[in-house]
Structure formats: structure tokens, C-alpha cells
Amino acid sequence: MAGLLGIGQSALMAAYAQLQTTGHNIANASTPGYSVQEAQFATAGGRSTGGGFLGMGVNLVTVQRRYDRFLTAELASSTAAAAADQARTTQLDRLQQVFADTDNGVGAAIDDLNAALADVVNRPSDASARQVVVQRADILAQRIQSADSRMRELGAGADEQIAQAADHVNDLLDQFAALNERIAQVNGSGQAPNDLLDQRDQVLLQLNGYLKVTAIEQDDGTMNLFASGGEGLLVGTRAAKLVVGTDPADASKQRLVLQQGASSLPMTAASFGGGSIAGLMRFRDEDLAAARTALSTLAQRVAQGYNDQQALGVLADGSPGQPMFAFTDGVLVSELQSGAALATGYAVTSQVTGTNSGDVSVTQFSVDDASIADLRKPVTIRFNGDGTFDVTGDGTGNPTGQPYQAGSPISFNGWTITLRGTPQAGDTVEIVPNASPGTDNRNARAMVALSGKPADGGAPYTDAYAAMLADVGSRAQSATASRAASEGLLSSAKAAQAEVTGVNLDEEAARLMQYQQMYQAAAKVIQAAQSMFDTLLSATSR
């Protein structure tokens, strides 16, 4: 009877332990990172009798968490990948918003400047048309400035987020070290501290949100952590620290240094491999840097193009045109102070002599190099009867017998003239100083043509801007696509892991019933033992 009572008691205890475990599972059904626990039982063995082995009941062996090391590792690495893509996509989305409004973009500002210049071509002496150019040039410079300063802000924002992430990583590493220590303390008991292990896995998962961490389990139950580049983040209970510092190669940039005791190790983007820090660094150092370089290249080309064209022209008083824009330290500023500073005319002009007997006329005249000292010197092109011409004037070297071909350009002293028609012997074309360049529109026309066909031979300015737009757009698009992919992988890794470790309330409800019944049955066994004892007692009490 004592045996039966013992068996009943062991069954009661087993059922109670199982009910406790079930209760714990139900209680933690919504706890992130919780792995469902199961009480493991084994028979208490048998006692040998002459009539065979009599069972002695049940023993609680251990409480085990349902766990799969590989699924957990996969969840950690897909968390790191998804966090990197998420961080980069969010930033790229902001970056592309800088360029989203094309109607008020840099390209539109270039076109607006051209439209204003076209009005000056139509009415070169109209002060109000010139004033509009002054304003449009300023608006163009402001648009570029504002796009650049928004990008600078994005860069500063990314730096700040990286610094915050580093702080969180340091906190999490400390927590991880503390958990390692507690786990090592109970390691000797031979029983797994399920809840501590879950907590530590959860901290590891959070760490992977910031950087990709490789965890290696040690014999004492602790885990050592390493970054993707093999840098030791935590060995035993000694956690390293991520510290924000300036990049010695470029003082305007910030970088992360891993400090472990006295040693400090600079971390590159490759050291992170994943997590939001890797995503932010990739955005800052690749995507944002590319967009800023493209904008600054465009700004520089615009400044160079308009400045060069200004320099080829002269103002109303005959003085050479001054730069329209200043481009210093990546910042574009309009230098055009007044409409009068717009060099719409050329210093020299061509004149077909009225007494010519042939029909030679000028199809094109331009100044290509205003730096030549003899630019303004009068030059006469005199045709001979044999299809050649002589040139007289300072700086030309007075060549004679040059072959004349209609439509082919003739260049001297920094200007180029193209003639057509058939000249007769003695006909002349003269290049003379321009008497009133303020009403001359030829250099202004060259400025309007500039944006569509830049003198540097590069793509038209607005095309370069469109290409930049496409680059930013496709970076954002591909980041969004890879975020969708990595989120898909993350959610299937989550599902796969949850399938093993998650709490299913229906399952727990069934267990609750099952072990409630077991508990009742065990109680019945005890009751049976007691009533047997009572029967025996009453039989022997007389």
C-alpha cells in the first residue's frame, strides 16, 4: 500500500509539474522569444519481486524547451539582413523625395533660366527681361543648394542613427554578458535554465537588428560573439564597446571603433555585414555619396558652362562678362548682381561691305576665345578673283591666298565667321569692334543654346539631371525590392522557428485537460490506497 501511495503521489506530482509547465506556456504565449516548454517524464523503474517487476511510478526528468539551434541562427541572420535593407530603404525613400518634385526641381530651374535668357535674346536692351535672368540664376543656385543641404541633413541623420545604434549595441552586449554569467553559474546543475536561454537568444536577435553577429557556444554554456569581420564583440563575460569617432582620413566623416580594453579596432562597413548599422553605412557611403557627387558635378558643369559663355561676351560698356556663378566647396552661388552684368553681346561684329558686287553673306559669327589680346582688332577679309581671300589686321599674320569655301568656318583672333554666297574680286567682309554690345543678343543666344549642347561636350544639363534622378530612383527601387525579399525570408524564418518553439493555445488547452485528468486519476490512486488501508485497518481492529 505504501507502494501504491508512492506511485499515486509520484503521478500527482508529475501531473502537477506538467500543469505548471502548461500554465507557464499559456502565460508566456505572447512573450517574444519564448520557447514552449515541456516536462519530460520517465518511469521510476520497477521493483523485482518473485512475481516479476512491479512498477514504482513516474519521475520528472527535466523541463525542456522546444528549440532548434539552426532555425534560431537562421532567424538571427535573416533579421540582420532585413534590418539592413529596412534601414537603407527608409533612407533612400527620403533621398528620392529630395528629387521627387520635378516641376520644381533643378532641371526645371535650368529650363526656367533658359526661358528668361530667351526673352533677353528677343529684347537684349530690355532691363526687365535681364532682371528676370538675375532672379532665375539665383533660383537655380538655391535649388541646387537646397537639394544639397537636404542631402547633408540626411547624412547627418544617418550618422546620428548609427551613433544611437552603437549605444544600443553596447547596452545589449552588457545584457548579453550578464546573461552569460548567470547561465554559467547554473550550468553545473545539469539542468538547462530555459528562460535565461530564451532571454539570451532574444538579446542576440536584437543585436542582429543592429549588426550581424556570429555566436559560438562554449562548454560552460556561455556564448562568444563576433562581428562579420571576425572582430570579437564579447568573449566570456567581457563585452567590447562601439565608440563613435571621426575618420582620420576624412574629418567630415564619422566612423565606429570597437574598443576592447586598451585595444581599439576601426570598424568598416564590411565589419557589420548586416543590421541597421550596415544599411545606414551603405546608404551614407554609397547611395548618398553618389547622389551628392552627381549633383555637385552637375552644379560645377553648370557654373563652368555659363561662366565660360559669360567670359566670351561683353557688357554694354564693352567690358568682359564676369562669372555668373561661383562654385566653392560644393556650393553653387549666383554671382549675377544685376541685369546689366549679363554679357549678351560680343566685343566684335562682322559687316559685309555694302559695295560688294558678289552676294557673300554671314551665316554664323561667334567669339570662341575672349582671352586673345587682338580679339577687338579690326580685320578685313578681301576676296580675290581666283576663289581665294586675303586677310589683313593685327594678330592675323596677314595671310594671303586662303582658299574660300562657302560654309566652312574662318577663325582668327578668337572669333569664327562662316560665310556663304559667291564673292567677286574686291569684295570684303570686315570684323570691327561692336559699337553697342548692350543691344547685341548673340552671346545671349549662345547661352540659351548652352544647356542643350554644353561646351564641355557632356550630356545636356537637364539630361544629366534626369540620369541622376534615374540613378536615385533605381537605387530606391532595388532597395525596396531587396527589402521585400529579405522581409519574406525573415517572415519564413520566423514562421519556421515559431513552428518549433511557439506556444499553441489549443495544444495547451488539450494538455490542460489531459493533465487535469491525470491529476484526478492520480488522486484516485491515492484514494484507493487510502480506502485499502482503511479496509485493512477495520478488518484488523477487533
Partner 1 sequence: MTRIPTLSAYERSLDAMAQRRAALAQDQLQLSTGKRVNSPSDDPLAAAQAERIRSQLARISTENRMIGFARQMLSQAENTMGTVVDALQFARESVVAAGNGALSSSDRALIGQQLSGVRDQLLSLANQSDGAGGYVFGGQGTTDVPFDAATGAPNGPPAAAPNVGEQATGLDVSYTTSQNGRAIFVDHAAAGGPKTIFQTLDDLVALIGDPATSAADLSAGLKDALGGIDSALDRVSLARTRAGEQLRAIDSYQQVLESGELDARGRLSDLVDVDYADAISRFQNNRTTLEAAMTAYGQIARMTLFNYL
133-152 binders of partner 1 (CB under 8 A): none
Question: How is residue 50 written as a grid cell?
Answer: 518473485
Strand order of the β-sheet with 232-235 is 213-217, 223-227, 232-235, 238-239
Q: Is 491 in the site for partner 1 (CB under 8 A)?
A: yes
Q: Is 108 in the site for partner 1 (CB under 8 A)?
A: yes
Q: Is 312 in the site for partner 1 (CB under 8 A)?
A: no
Q: Is 201 in the site for partner 1 (CB under 8 A)?
A: no
DSSP 56-88: --EEEEEEEE---HHHHHHHHHHHHHHHHHHHH
Find the binder of partner 1 among 448, 493, 525, 529 (CB under 8 A). 448
DSSP 239-290: E-EEEEEEETTEEEEEEEEEEETTEEEEE-HHHH-SHHHHHHHHIIIIIIHH
Count residues contacting partner 1 (CB under 8 A)?
Answer: 84
Find the binder of partner 1 among 76, 227, 476, 522 (CB under 8 A). 476
Task: Give the shortest CB-364-to-partner 1 separation in angstroms.
Answer: 9
Closest to partner 1 by CB, 178 vs 362, is 362
Give the SS3 label for residue 296.
Answer: helix
Q: Which residues 6+ apart lie within 8 Å of 361 measured at CB?
A: 352, 419, 420, 421
Between CA 37 and CA 454 the distance in angstroms is 72
Between CA 279 and CA 265 the distance in angstroms is 20
Find the binder of partner 1 among 7, 58, 84, 121 (CB under 8 A). 121
Q: Is 345 in the site for partner 1 (CB under 8 A)?
A: yes
Task: Give the shortest CB-118-to-partner 1 separation in angstroms.
Answer: 5
Between CA 19 and CA 478 the distance in angstroms is 51
Find the binder of partner 1 among 81, 92, 207, 295 (CB under 8 A). 92
Q: Which of 322, 316, 271, 255 is nearest to 439 (CA)?
A: 316
Closest to partner 1 by CB, 21 vs 228, is 21
Q: Is 178 in the site for partner 1 (CB under 8 A)?
A: no
Give the SS3 label for residue 335.
Answer: coil
Q: Is 294 in the site for partner 1 (CB under 8 A)?
A: no
Closest to partner 1 by CB, 448 vs 529, is 448
Q: Is 191 in the site for partner 1 (CB under 8 A)?
A: no
Question: How is residue 423 written as a grid cell?
Answer: 564673292
Per-residue binding string, partner 1, 355-384, x by CB under 8 A, is x------x----------------------
Q: Is 91 in the site for partner 1 (CB under 8 A)?
A: no
Q: Is 510 in the site for partner 1 (CB under 8 A)?
A: yes
Find the binder of partner 1 among 27, 42, 186, 470 (CB under 8 A). 470
Find the binder of partner 1 among 93, 160, 374, 394 (CB under 8 A). 93
Q: Which of 252, 292, 49 is nearest to 156 (CA)?
A: 252
Task: Give the shortest CB-255-to-partner 1 separation in angstroms.
Answer: 29
Between CA 254 and CA 541 the distance in angstroms is 93
Q: Is 102 in the site for partner 1 (CB under 8 A)?
A: yes
**For residue 99, what is the enclosing H or E element?**
helix 69-100
Question: How is residue 25 written as a grid cell?
Answer: 506556456
Q: Is 430 in the site for partner 1 (CB under 8 A)?
A: yes
Q: Is 206 in the site for partner 1 (CB under 8 A)?
A: no
Between CA 429 and CA 380 the distance in angstroms is 6
Find the binder of partner 1 among 181, 507, 521, 535 (CB under 8 A). 507
Task: Give the shortest CB-141-to-partner 1 separation in angstroms.
Answer: 18
Give the SS3 label for residue 113.
Answer: helix
Q: Is 99 in the site for partner 1 (CB under 8 A)?
A: yes
Q: Is 501 in the site for partner 1 (CB under 8 A)?
A: yes
- What are the C-alpha distances in Å from 312 to residues 119, 299, 306, 459? 20, 20, 10, 21
Q: Is 297 in the site for partner 1 (CB under 8 A)?
A: no
Q: Is 506 in the site for partner 1 (CB under 8 A)?
A: yes
Long-range (24+ apart) CB contacts under 8 A made by 516-522 are 516/15, 516/19, 518/11, 518/14, 518/15, 518/18, 519/12, 519/15, 519/16, 519/19, 521/11, 522/8, 522/9, 522/11, 522/12, 522/14, 522/15
Q: Is 435 in the site for partner 1 (CB under 8 A)?
A: yes
Q: Is 112 in the site for partner 1 (CB under 8 A)?
A: yes
Task: Give the shortest CB-445-to-partner 1 separation in angstroms.
Answer: 7
Which range of residues in 233-241, 383-391, 447-455, 529-537 is near partner 1 by CB under 8 A? 447-455
Find the binder of partner 1 among 176, 389, 412, 465 (CB under 8 A). 465
Cβ distance 256 to 162 under 8 Å? yes
Find the binder of partner 1 among 38, 68, 126, 174 (CB under 8 A). 126
Task: Give the shortest CB-129-to-partner 1 separation in angstroms.
Answer: 9
Closest to partner 1 by CB, 29 vs 536, is 29
Task: Give the shortest CB-506-to-partner 1 separation in angstroms.
Answer: 4
Question: How is residue 228 written as a grid cell?
Answer: 562579420
Rounded (5°) CA angle 408-409-410: 120
Closest to partner 1 by CB, 495 vs 532, is 495
Question: How is residue 152 written as a grid cell?
Answer: 547633408
Find the binder of partner 1 among 353, 416, 482, 530 (CB under 8 A). 353
Q: Which of 92, 215, 193 is nearest to 475 (CA)?
A: 92
Rounded (5°) CA angle 84-87-89: 105
Find the binder of partner 1 among 54, 485, 509, 521 (CB under 8 A). 509
5-44 binders of partner 1 (CB under 8 A): 29-30, 36
